[in-house]
Amino acid sequence: MWTRTCVGCDRPGPVICLSCTGEGALRPLGEPVDFVADGRVLDVYDSGLGRAVAVAKGKPDRRTASVLARTLRQRACQDPEVFGWLLTATAVSWIPSPWPRRLRRGFDLPALLAAELGSVSRVGRARPLLHVSPGVRQAATSRRGRQDNLRGRIRARDRGVEGVVVLVDDVVTTGATASACARELLGTRVETVRLITLCQAGDAAHRESGHGVQML
Ligand SMILES: [Zn+2]
């Protein structure tokens, strides 16, 4: 008999079961990210939620990606502070995957996440503010390597946005990419960057080896 199982834990249930969606509320980032004023994360990467993210991006599986996006929106709406961010943001945007990966997957998970959060924001939708050009595979590089790899690859697409931008990503690993993106936005008229992400890879050994972690 055909039984549907959770992509995060393989137990029978919906696409992603309740215990794999982080269970609880959004929480502050375990490690601060330079140039980001404040950040929230749903769970660590080494979790059912992280496995669901890996399935969504690796398979790739758009249905799982959509469930992740709706989950993030629900959690954001349940959190008065984060919902407040969305109601005061002048823009909701995301850290885009470079185009070869978007092309391969047929979707961009951070863009789907931002679309859901943008839909409940004051501005009503997410908009692309950043361009990230392809580079060396992030997962294969060290923290220093990531920073070198990022140099010159991130640029603002729209320099006219002021105020507070809520930036959305799927996985924050070293924070180097999110930091570089926030710095680029702060180089325009943007005054504050806040970050919302599904997962944070918090273990130094894990992120240096890059097992299964793909940021870009
Ligand atoms: Zn599960």
Summarize pLDDT for 123-148 with one digit per residue, the tens.
Answer: 999 999 999 998 766 565 676 666 77
Supply the mean pLDDT for the chain: 88
Break the chain down into helix, strand, coil percent, rounded to 5: 40, 20, 40
The answer on pLDDT for 36 being more than 90 is yes
CA 6 / ligand 1 centre spacing (Å) = 5
CA 211 / ligand 1 centre spacing (Å) = 20
Closest CA to 77 of 116, 30, 126: 116
Residues lining ion ligand 1 (Cβ < 5 A) are 6, 8-9, 17, 20, 48
CA 179 / ligand 1 centre spacing (Å) = 31
Give the pLDDT band (50/70/90) at residue 150: confident
| Least confident window among 76-80, 115-119, 120-124, 200-204 | 200-204
CA 104 / ligand 1 centre spacing (Å) = 26
CA 169 / ligand 1 centre spacing (Å) = 21
CA 85 / ligand 1 centre spacing (Å) = 29
Give the E-state strand segments of 35-152 in sequence order.
38-44, 91-94, 130-132
CA 9 / ligand 1 centre spacing (Å) = 4
Instruction: Give the chain's domains with CATH numbers.
Output: 20-209 (3.40.50)
d(CA 9, CA 19): 9
Reading the block at residue 192, the tokens are 């504050």
**DSSP structure class, residue 98:** P
CA 20 / ligand 1 centre spacing (Å) = 4
d(CA 166, CA 91): 6
Residue type (1 letter), 64: T
CA 71 / ligand 1 centre spacing (Å) = 13
CA 106 / ligand 1 centre spacing (Å) = 25
Region 77-88 average pLDDT = 97
CA 11 / ligand 1 centre spacing (Å) = 6
CA 34 / ligand 1 centre spacing (Å) = 33
CA 21 / ligand 1 centre spacing (Å) = 8
% of the chain at pLDDT higher than 70: 86
Read off the pTM: 0.88
